[in-house]
Amino acid sequence: MIKMLSAADKLAEIKRLYYRTSRATIAQDVKKAIDLLKSMSSDEERERVAVYMDGLSQMRSDWARQARSPMPTKKGKWKKEKGKEKNV
């Protein structure tokens, strides 16, 4: 049997997803949060969860960007100048 969630339950679930998401679960957490958002009946309800939705989206973007680009091993660039190494 499927339980119908109240507006407060939906808000609480989106908040829970926001605070407990991880790199491993972000895709499924965003999908579930979007489904909950779509099921909300008023603009006021959606406005209350907007900050959490934005946060989930930002985490997903940040983690995806980090996965695509490797972390640099050096902070500065090294340049050889007349037989000497110089940190630029």
Locate 60 and state its tokens.
């997903």
Q: Is residue 64 in some structural domain?
A: yes
Number of H helices, E strands in the chain: 3, 2
**Domain range enclosing 51:** 7-71
Structure token digits, residue 53: 């939705």
**Residue 47 domain-assigned?**
yes
- Give the pLDDT of residue 59: 95
Q: What pLDDT was estimated at residue 13?
A: 96
Domains in the chain, number: 1
pLDDT one-digit tens code per residue, 22-77: 999 999 999 999 999 999 999 999 999 999 999 999 999 999 998 887 655 555 55
Q: Is residue 84 part of a domain?
A: no
26 part of a folded domain: yes
pLDDT in tens, 1-18: 557 899 999 999 999 999
Contact 14, 40 (CB under 8 A): no
- Whether the CB-CB separation of 29 and 17 falls below 8 Å is answered with yes
> What per-residue confidence (pLDDT) applies to 69?
75
- In a domain, residue 45? The reply is yes
pTM of the entire structure?
Answer: 0.72
* Cα distance between residue 29 and residue 59, in whole Å: 11
**80 assigned to some structural domain:** no
What Å distances lie between residue 60 and 2, 29, 33, 43, 67, CA to CA? 29, 10, 13, 24, 11
Residue 81 domain-assigned (yes or no) = no
Residue 78 lies in a domain: no
- Residue 53, pLDDT score: 96
